Each structure stands twice: as C-alpha cells, then as structure tokens.
Amino acid sequence: MKIERRSRASFLTLLRLAITASFVSSLYGEPPQLSIHLDGTSVELSWPTELDRYYFIQKSSTLGADSWAYHDYAVKGDGSLESTTVDGSLAKQFFRLEFYDGSEFPLPEALTADFDGDGTDNKTELDQGTNVFGLTFSGSDFIPDEWNYFYFGNLDQSDTDNDDGDYTNNLEEYQLGLDPTVDERVFAVTYTYDVVGRLITASNDSVALTYTLDEEGNILGKN
C-alpha cells in the first residue's frame, strides 16, 4: 500500500512516527492516500474524501492487534480534502484510516455505536454534522445540538422556547431530563398538608384525591 509522506526524513527519524492506512474492503476500490505534515509539535493528517463516505482515524503505539483505539475525530466525506491534527510529541505513533460508505448490511459497529453516549448512533451524528466523541454546541444557548436533533430533527428552537406549552422552556426541559415535546403538567403532582405536616390532598391536571386520616396521621381512605 502506497502511503504519501509529506515530511522531512529527520522528522520521521527523531519522532519515529509511523503512519499506516487501511481500508475496510476491496469493494471500495483504492483507499485514499493518508498524508502527514509536521507543524511544530503537532502532526496534521490529511486525505481526500468521497461524497457520503464515513471516515474514522485509529491510533496505536505498538501495532498490537488489541492496541488500536479511535482518535477523537470522525467525519462524513463531502468530496473535499479533510484533515485533523494529532499530538506529535510522543516517541512512536501509528495511525490508520478506516472508512465505510454506509450501504453495508448490517452496518459496521463503528457506525452503529454511540461513542459519546448521548443516545444517538455515530452514523446519525455524522449525517447531521455533530460530534461523535462529545456534545456539539453550535448556537449561543446551552443546549447541545444532539438534543435538538433528537427531539425536533433540526436546530430551529431556542433555549427559551416552550414547544409543548407546559411552562417549562427547552433549557429547563434539557436540564431536568424531560421531553420538550410532551406537556409534563398532566404528570406533575401537587401535595397539600395539614398544620402538623400530614398529607391531606394530592392532585394533578387529571385527578384530585382527598385523604381521610386517623388520629395518628395514618391514611384510612381517599376519595
């Protein structure tokens, strides 16, 4: 496999940096060439992308079969040159390019996994342009894009919007772990107590209960 190296020989000698590229299957044709460029203490990896292909970078320090881990960068190709920067201060590093076109069945684990645990699989995140390794905040509010995409399918809402009309805005719904498309008032319960702290009523938007208590405050019944 031909790998283009755009760096001085002394750089490779001093840092002993090795770059390897791999591809998933021959059905994709020739793999893209992974280029490297030294910029101070960092290394830029770049490669040409093809439209609608999904690209991941893996890294290893030993080339052992179980040593490969995902570098925190992934992207969906748009036909342009793509690049990412990695730490160049380590004594020895190996990188390889992994890519898929999304037509496989079943989909490969790299696309069905949820690397950042936000409830959205990697393929969906790459399709919508969010970060598979963490939350994305493209707006000026404090709500991640992933949350908006999950509930609304777009980024048109603001943190002060109240789409379900339950007097709890989107930011509060996000912070409380609520569904911003469901009116939570029907599930909210209001309790009242007597002067000594005994429960006497419980109500929400659908039902109201009044409790009958004995002298010790035990509930005898409700209506």
Of the three residues 107, 123, 157, the one that is the final residue of a domain is 107
Place of tokens 């989909």: 107
Q: Is residue 27 one of the residues assigned to a domain?
A: yes
Q: Is residue 149 one of the residues assigned to a domain?
A: no
Domain total of the chain = 2
Please answer whether residues 75 and 49 qualify as being in contact, where contact means their C-beta atoms are separated by less than 8 angstroms.
yes
Task: State residue 28's pLDDT score.
Answer: 55
Q: Is residue 75 one of the residues assigned to a domain?
A: yes
Task: State residue 219's pLDDT score.
Answer: 81
- Residue 45 CA, distance from chain mean position: 22
Low-confidence ranges of the chain (pLDDT < 50): 1-27
Task: Give the global pTM.
Answer: 0.64
Task: State residue 13's pLDDT score.
Answer: 29
E runs forming strands in 77-165: 81-87, 94-100
Q: Which helix (H) or strand (E) holds 173?
A: helix 170-176
Task: State residue 206's pLDDT score.
Answer: 64
Spatial separation of the C-alpha atoms in residues 83 and 43, rounded to whole Å: 10
Q: Is residue 195 one of the residues assigned to a domain?
A: yes
Please answer whether residues 51 and 22 qualify as being in contact, where contact means their C-beta atoms are separated by less than 8 angstroms.
no
Task: State residue 10's pLDDT score.
Answer: 27
Of the three residues 50, 74, 107, the one that is the final residue of a domain is 107
Give the CATH number, domain containing residue 74. Answer: 2.60.40
Domain residues for the domain of 15 are 9-107
Spatial separation of the C-alpha atoms in residues 223 and 203, rounded to whole Å: 12
Task: State residue 110's pLDDT score.
Answer: 94
Q: Is residue 51 one of the residues assigned to a domain?
A: yes
